[in-house]
Structure 1
Amino acid sequence: MPLDRILRNLITWQRAGGPPASLRAMTVEQARERYLANAVRPRRPEGDAGPAVTTADHRVDTADGSSFRVRVYTPASDEGRVVTYLHGGGWVLGDIDSHDWVCRIVAASLGAVVVSADYRRAPEFPYPTPLLDAIAAARWTSRSFPGRDHVIAGDSAGASLSVGVAMDARDTGDVEFAAQLLLYPPADPSLRFAAAGAHPEGYLLSVDDMAWSYDLYVPDPQQRGEPALDLLGADLRHLPPAVVGTAEFDPLRDEGVELADKLCVDGVAVRHVPGPGLVHGYFLMQDIVPAAAVCARRVLEELDAVLRSAREGRESAPAAYAEALRES
C-alpha cells in the first residue's frame, strides 16, 4: 500500500529545508542529540498522566567491574509477566529516556513489569559490550522477578540484541524466556538485503545510516559473521516463540521477513506482523501516526496471545498427564 499520508507529510516537511544531514556528516554527540530530539512522545492533554505505570531506576553490575542503569516500569494491572526491553538506535543512539513512553505502553498493554536496559553504546563501547550488557540485564530481570513469564524484547538494534540474548539463554540455561518481541530487526550485517530492497533511502532510515552504525558497533569486519550479528546465518533452533514486526517502507524490511522465515525453518513458532505503509521506527510514532498506533497494538496483541497460549499449555499439562495415567 502507499506510504501513510501523515508519514509522507512528515518526510516532506523534513525535506523542505533541504535534505537532512546524514549520520556520517555529524559527530556522534550531534547524532544522539538529534535522535533524542526526534524521539516522538505523546502530546498528552492537561491532566492526562498516561498509562498507569510507576517507575524506579536501578544499577546492574557487569563482569568488567562497571555498571549500567535499568528502569523498571510497574503497571497497575499485573498479568504475571516481565519484559526485558532493549532500545533501538543502531547500537549508538537512543537510551532509556528516548524509549520511556514506549516502555510505559508495553507495561500497561501487557500487564507486565518492564525492565528497560540503558546498555553501554558504541563507539565508546563497541561489540560485544552492548550484547554483554543486554545479557546481564536479562539475568538481573530473571533474578529480580522470578516466576513470571519473561519476554526478551527490542526494537531495531535492540531487536538484534534480543536474539543474541535469547541464543545465550538457550546455550547457558541461565534465563528461561517465554517469548521474543523483535521489532524491525537488523539481521544482515552485509546489508545486501537492504541495498537490494525497494526502499534503501528516503524514509527516515537509509542503508548508509545502517552502514555507519555497523562501522561504529563492529569496527572489525571479520566479527560481523558471528552468530549474534549475522542472524540469518545463525543457528536459531530452540529459541522461544517470536513476534516479528516489520515496516513496509524500511530498508530492513526484507531481512526482517527473512529472519522470520528462518526462525520458522529452524522450528521456532513465529507470528509476523507487517507494517503496511509504515517506516522504520514506527513504534516510537504512535502519538502522531494513527496507523503506527494500530500496528503497535496488533504487535502487542499477538505477543499477548503467545503468552496466553504458553500459560494455558503449562496449566493443562498436569491435567493431561493425570488423565493419561488414569487411562493407563
Structure 2
Amino acid sequence: MSLDEATTALLAQLAAAGGAPMHEVSPGEARARMAGLAQLYPAGPGARPQRRRTHPRAGGELPARVITPPNPRGVLLYLHGGGWVVGSIGEHESLGRQLAAATRCTVVLASYRLAPEAPWPAAVEDAWAALQWVDAQRSALAAEDAPVVVAGDSAGGNLATIVARHARDAGGPSVDLQVLVYPVTDHDFDNGSYTDPANQLALNRQTLQWFWEHYVPVDQRDHADVSPLRADDLAGLPPAVVVTAEHDVLRDEGAAYAERLRAAGVQVDHRDFAGQMHGFFTMVGLLPAQAEAVDHVAQQVDTHLNSLETTR
C-alpha cells in the first residue's frame, strides 16, 4: 500500500520548508528542527496538571514529567525516540497526555542523556535508573501494587525492551507489559525495509546510519544492550505490544523482534500500520493514523491490565 494522503501531504509541507537532510547537519541543528516540528502538535487531552520532576542517574539527576489521570490504574514509563541523538520529553508531552487519558495510567516521561555528548551506554543507564525510580515511587504515582508498563518509540523502544530485560535478569523491578513502537532492535542496514526505495522518507537509511555513528562504535553494536534482537535469551520477558509502520526502514527489525519474542514464549501483539511512515505515532494531531495507533495501544494495555486485575 502506498503512503496515505495525510502523510503524503505532510511530507510535501516539510519538503517545502527546505533545509538539508538531517544526516547532513549537526546534532544541535537536528535537535532544533525536531523541536520546531513539535510546535505543531496540540496540547493534548486535559489530564491533571503535569508535575515537573527529576529522576536520579549516576552522578546527577535528569528531568521527568509526570502526567496523572483521575484514579490511575497503573504507571507507564515512556522513553522518547530520536535516534539517541535528538528528541526531548517536552516534545512528547502531547503524546504523554494522550496516553494518560487513553490508558488511565500515570505517564512518566523520563529524560536520558543524548549522544554524541553522552554515547552508549549512557542512555541505557539512564533508562534503567528511570525504571528503578518509577518502581520506588509506585505508591505516589498510582498505588503500591500498581502495574508498570515500559514503553517507547524508535530509540526509546530500544531502551524500553533493554530495561525490561535488565529487570528480568535482576529479579526486578517488576514490569508487567512492554510497548515497543517501531523499535530499533538491530544494526543491519541492508535488510529489505532499509533498502526499499519506498521507505526513504522523513527517516531513511542514511539518517539511521548517522544516528548510529553518533551513538555507539561499530565494534560494540552486537551487544544485546545495543541490538536487542541479538540477545541470547528473550524468554521470561513481559508481554509485548509491538507497533510497526509499513513504510519505515525499521519495519523488518521490529517484526523480527516480535517473532523472536513469540519464539521465546512471550505473549506478543504485533500490528503493522499500512500506509504509515516512521514517526507517525508521535505526530499528534497531524496524522489520522496517529490517534488510531494510540487507541490500539490503549486497548492492548486495557486488556492486559484487566487480566492482571482478575488474577491478583
Task: Give 5+ residue unaligned stretches, structure 2.
Answer: 139-143
Q: Deviations over 1:42-96 (max 9, x none)?
A: 446xxxx732232112222222x222111111112422x0011100111010011
How many angstroms apart in 1 are the aligned matches of 2:39 and 2:17?
20
How many angstroms apart in 2 are the aligned matches of 1:28 and 1:240?
34
Using a 3 Å threshold, how does the CA distance of structure 1 residues 157 and 214 change in structure 2: closer, same or farther?
A: same
Q: Does structure 2 retain, via aligned residues, the 8 Å contact 1:71–1:115?
A: yes
Count residues with an aligned counterpart: 305
Q: Does structure 2 retain, via aligned residues, the 8 Å contact 1:198–1:251?
A: no
Q: Does structure 2 retain, via aligned residues, the 8 Å contact 1:41–1:284?
A: no
Give, in angstroms, the shift of residue 198 of structure 1.
5.6
Give the 5 Å matches for 1:66-85. Answer: 66-79=60-73, 81-85=74-78
Match of 1:21 in 2: 20
Tell me if 1:51 matches 2:46.
yes
Q: Does structure 2 retain, via aligned residues, the 8 Å contact 1:40–1:287?
A: no
Q: What letter is aligned with 1:299?
A: V
Q: Secondary structure in 1 aligned to 2:55?
A: strand
TM-score, normalised with respect to structure 1: 0.88
- Structure 1 residue runs of 4 or more that deviate by more than 6 Å after TM superposition: none
Q: Does structure 1 retain, via aligned residues, the 8 Å contact 2:194–2:204?
A: no
TM-score, normalised with respect to structure 2: 0.93
How many angstroms apart in 2 are the aligned matches of 1:40 and 1:284?
12
Match of 2:184 in 1: 186
Match of 1:324 in 2: none
Give, in angstroms, the shift of residue 190 of structure 1.
2.7
How many angstroms apart in 1 are the aligned matches of 2:151 and 2:158?
10
Q: Secondary structure in 1 aligned to 2:124?
A: helix
Match of 2:211 in 1: 213
Q: What letter is aligned with 2:96?
A: C
Q: Secondary structure in 2 aligned to 1:277?
A: strand
Q: Secondary structure in 1 aligned to 2:50?
A: strand
Using a 3 Å threshold, how does the CA distance of structure 1 residues 40 and 241 change in structure 2: closer, same or farther?
A: farther
Match of 1:34 in 2: 33
Give, in angstroms, the shift of residue 302 of structure 1.
1.5
Q: Deviations over 1:258-280 (max 9, x none)?
A: 11111101111000121111111
1:303 to 301, 304, 307: 301
How many angstroms apart in 1 are the aligned matches of 2:259 and 2:48?
35
Give, in angstroms, the shift of residue 311 of structure 1.
2.6
What's the Cα RMSD here? 1.7
Identity of counterpart residues, as a percentage? 36
